[in-house]
Structure 1
C-alpha cells in the first residue's frame, strides 16, 4: 500500500524530520487557482507569504473590501491556570510509547491535555505530530476512535500559539479551518477544540446546517475567530454572503475525506479551498478512513509533499471488539433486538439500520415496548439531535438508533454494544459502526443480524477484516414474543 501511495506522490518515504515544503512548488492544479477581487491583483505563484510581513500588506488591501465590526470585539477569556506548572504533569517514559512531553508543546496546551487525562499519544497522534509540528502537510488513514481529532487539533493549536495573530483583524477571518462532512462530527470536533484551548484564550466557532443562522452569525460579531469548524454547505453560505473570509487561513484540515466524496460534498469543498491561500502558503492536513484513488488524487491537488501516515483499520475493528453474527429471519429481527437488550439489561446500546424509515420504525417500537430509545438520522432537526446525543451520554436514553451518516461522528464513551439491525452494503461502514464501541483500548461487543435481505453483505465485510466471523442461530429464548404493554 505504501509503495503505491509513494508512487502517486512521486517520492520516497518521507523522514520524520523532513524539510518544510518548498515555496517554489508548482501550482498548476485547477483547485489551486483563486478568484481574487478586482482591487487585489493575483499574487505570483512563486511568491511566498511569511507571517506578519505578508499580513500587513493584505490588511491594507482588505480595508476597502471588508467592514470592521462596529461592536467591541472581545477575546475568549483564558481559564485561570491555578499556578499549574508542567512539573505537575509527570509521565514516566515507557518503551514503545510516545509522551506528549516528547514534543515541544505550549504549557497552556499541555495543561489542557493533562486535564483530559492523556499521558501518552495514540499511534496516529505520535506519527502525525512528528510531521505536522515541523510545518509539513500530512494525509492520514485512520478510523474514528484512534485519536486523530486530537492529533490535528494539537498541531493546529500549536501553530496558532506559535505564530502571533495579525495586529488588525476583521470580521469572520479564521486562522484555522476544519471541514467535516456531518453536523455531529463538527459538534464533536468543536467540543474537543474547546477542551484543548481552554487555557489559551483561542476562540472556537462551529457552523452547521439545520441550526439558527443568525445565532451563528452573532458569534462572528462578538469575538475574533481563531478556529472554525464547519460543514461545507453552511460554510459556503457564510462565505458567499461575505460574512466569512478565508484568505488568512494558516491551517486547513479536511476530516473524513472519503465520506465527503460519498456524500457529494467535494464540489463545495473545492469552492471553499479556492478561497484559502495557495497550498504552499498554508498547512493542509487530510484524514480519511480509506485511501482510494479519488482520495489520493484530492490529496495530491491540495497538499505539498505530504507525510503519509497509516493506521490499519483491522486493528481497531478486531482487537478491541468481540464480533458476533446471528442468522435470523427478517420478521424475527425486532424480537431478537428487544430480547437482547431487555434480558441482558444493557443500558447503552447503539443500533444501526441502513434507511431512515427503518431507524424510525425501530425507535418507535422500542419506545412503545417500554425501552428508552431515540433516533439519529437526517430527518431529525439539529437541535434535537444535539439534545438526543447529550441524553444518550448522560444515560437518560438507553438505545440510540442511527443511520450510517448520522452515526459517523458520534463519540460517546461507555457504549457496551453495537447492533447491526441490517448489515451495511459498504464494508467500511461496518468498521465505522462497530468502532462506536471498544474505544480507547476498552472492550466492546458487536452483534449483526444477517437475514435473507442482507446476508449478501457479509462476505465483503469478512474480506475487509481478513477473517471469517462465526455465524450462529440465536437461542430460542431470544426469539420469544415481545410482551404487550397494557
Structure 2
C-alpha cells in the first residue's frame, strides 16, 4: 500500500529526504526565539471590531500581561531525559525553551512513533499526510509543529483581530474542544492565543473573544468557521499552517464541500504548510491530499492493533430482548466504575441511557442531539468518575481521550468494522489493559466475520452466564 501511495505522489520517501536539503522550505525558519515577554497578545476589551476595510493600517496596541512566574525559573536542564535506543526525545528536535517547558509540564519525555516521524518532516517546513488513529499522539505532533512555526516567524506588522496564523479543522465539537485544550497546554509559556469556533455554542461569545485579541491558532468545525468567514468576521488569507484532522470522518459526515470553501480562502498550497491526518487512507482521502498538499511526506502508523493486544475481547450471543438485562447486570454485579457503551443509532443511545438512569445507574448519553455545553459537562463528569456509564454513538464517541475506561460494551455491533477498532480503542490505552464485550443478537451478529477479518483473528462467541440474564430489580419510588 505504501508503494502505491509513493507512486501516487511521485517520490519515494528516500528521494524526499535526499532532496530535502536542496528544496527550499516554504517558510524557512529562523533560529528559534522566544516571543518577547513584554509583548504578549492584546487582551483588552475593545469596541466591536469594524470590518477590515475600516480598520487603521497598523496593528492594535498590545497590553502587557504579567509574565508567568514559573517561566523565569525553569531551565532546560530541569527536563533531563536519557537517550534510549529506539526512542526519540523531544530534545532531539530544535524546540524553543517555552515549548519544552510545556512538554515537561505535561510529562512527555519521549515522542510517540507518529510524533517522531511527523516532526522529522514538518519542522523542516514540509507538508505531510499521516495515517493514525486517535490516541497515537498525532494532535501533539501537529501542535508542536504549528507552535514552532509561529515562534520562528514573527507576525506581520499589519495584523487584524480575525486573522488566524494557523488553522485546524476537525469534524466534531468534542474533537475541537480536545485539540484546543491540548493547544492551550502546549502554548502555556509562549504568549500565543488559541481560539475555538464550534456550532451549538454562543456565537456572540465566540465573536467577542475574536474581537478582543489576536488569534494565533484557530481550531474549528467547518460549519461554524464558514459562518464567521461569510459574515466577514474571520479572514483566512494569513494562514501559514493548515491542519485537516480526521479527513476520513469529514468525508463520512459530508463536510468536504464546506472544507473546500474554507481552503479556497487560505493562501495557495505553495505558500502554506498543509498537514492532513486520517485513520484510513481511502482513495477519496488520497485524492483530497493530492489536491491540497505539495509533495507531502507520507507517514503511516499501524492501526490500533495494540487494541487487540491490550484489550481482552469477548462476544456474547444474546437475544435482542435480553441485551439490556445483560448490560445492567454486568455493570452492577461487577461494580464497574467507568464503562463506555456503544450503540449504532441516536434513539438506541437515548433509550439505553434512560433505562439505566431509571434503574439507578449513574449514566449519561453522548450523541449529536445533546447540546454542546452539556456534552462538555458530561465528558468532565465521566472523566472525574461522577458518571459510571457513558452511552454513545460512533460519531460522538470518536476522539474521546479519557484514561481509565475499564470496559467497552458494544450493545449493537457496528456496521463498519473500523468503528469496532475505534470503539475498543477507548479502553486499554497507554499500555493499560481493558476489556471489550460485544452483544451479538439476531439483528447484528452477521457483522462479526468482517470484524474478525479486519482484526486478523477469530473471536469466539460465548453464552452469557445465566445469572447475568436475571430480571432487572424494580425500583420502588
Residue in structure 1 matched with residue 345 of structure 2 by the alignment: 355
Extract structure 1 runs of 4+ deviating beyond 6 A.
48-52, 69-72
Aligned with 2:53 (options 65, 68, 89) = 65
Q: C-alpha displacement at 1:315, in angstroms?
A: 2.4
Residue in structure 2 matched with residue 7 of structure 1 by the alignment: 7
Encode CA deviations 1:120-157: one digit per residue, 9 max, x unaligned: 11111111111111110000000001111111111111
Aligned with 2:427 (options 426, 437, 445) = 437
Residue in structure 2 matched with residue 106 of structure 1 by the alignment: 96
Q: Write the distance in 1 (CA, Å) between the matches of 2:82 and 2:459.
A: 39
Q: Write the distance in 2 (CA, Å) between the matches of 1:77 and 1:393.
A: 32
Q: C-alpha displacement at 1:316, in angstroms?
A: 3.3
> Relative to 1, partners in 2 of residues 1:423 and 1:82: Cα closer, same or farther, differing over 3 Å?
same
Alignment pair present for 1:19 and 2:20: yes
Q: Write the distance in 2 (CA, Å) between the matches of 1:395 and 1:409.
A: 19
Q: Write the distance in 2 (CA, Å) between the matches of 1:64 and 1:381.
A: 33
Q: C-alpha displacement at 1:317, in angstroms?
A: 2.5
Residue in structure 2 matched with residue 149 of structure 1 by the alignment: 139
Normalised by the length of structure 2, the TM-score is 0.91
> Relative to 1, partners in 2 of residues 1:343 and 1:254: Cα closer, same or farther, differing over 3 Å?
same
Query: Is the Cα–Cα contact under 8 Å of residues 21 and 305 in structure 1 kept in the other structure?
Result: no
> Relative to 1, partners in 2 of residues 1:363 and 1:305: Cα closer, same or farther, differing over 3 Å?
same
Give secondary structure in 2 for the equivalent of 1:319.
helix
Alignment pair present for 1:184 and 2:174: yes
Alignment pair present for 1:226 and 2:211: no
Name the count of aligned residue pairs: 454
* Unaligned residue ranges in structure 1 (runs of 5+): 25-47, 53-61
Query: Is the Cα–Cα contact under 8 Å of residues 255 and 288 in structure 1 kept in the other structure?
Result: yes
Normalised by the length of structure 1, the TM-score is 0.89
Residue in structure 2 matched with residue 244 of structure 1 by the alignment: 234
Encode CA deviations 1:9-41: one digit per residue, 9 max, x unaligned: 1222245575279689xxxxxxxxxxxxxxxxx
Aligned CA RMSD, in angstroms, stands at: 2.2
Query: Is the Cα–Cα contact under 8 Å of residues 257 and 288 in structure 1 kept in the other structure?
Result: yes
Residue in structure 2 matched with residue 273 of structure 1 by the alignment: 263
Q: Write the distance in 1 (CA, Å) between the matches of 2:22 and 2:261.
A: 24
Residue in structure 2 matched with residue 31 of structure 1 by the alignment: none
Query: Is the Cα–Cα contact under 8 Å of residues 74 and 222 in structure 1 kept in the other structure?
Result: no
Q: C-alpha displacement at 1:441, in angstroms?
A: 2.0
Alignment pair present for 1:420 and 2:421: no
Q: C-alpha displacement at 1:115, in angstroms?
A: 0.6
Q: Write the distance in 1 (CA, Å) between the matches of 2:19 and 2:379.
A: 42
* Unaligned residue ranges in structure 2 (runs of 5+): 31-49
Alignment pair present for 1:211 and 2:201: yes
Q: C-alpha displacement at 1:372, in angstroms?
A: 0.2
Give secondary structure in 2 for the equivalent of 1:478.
helix
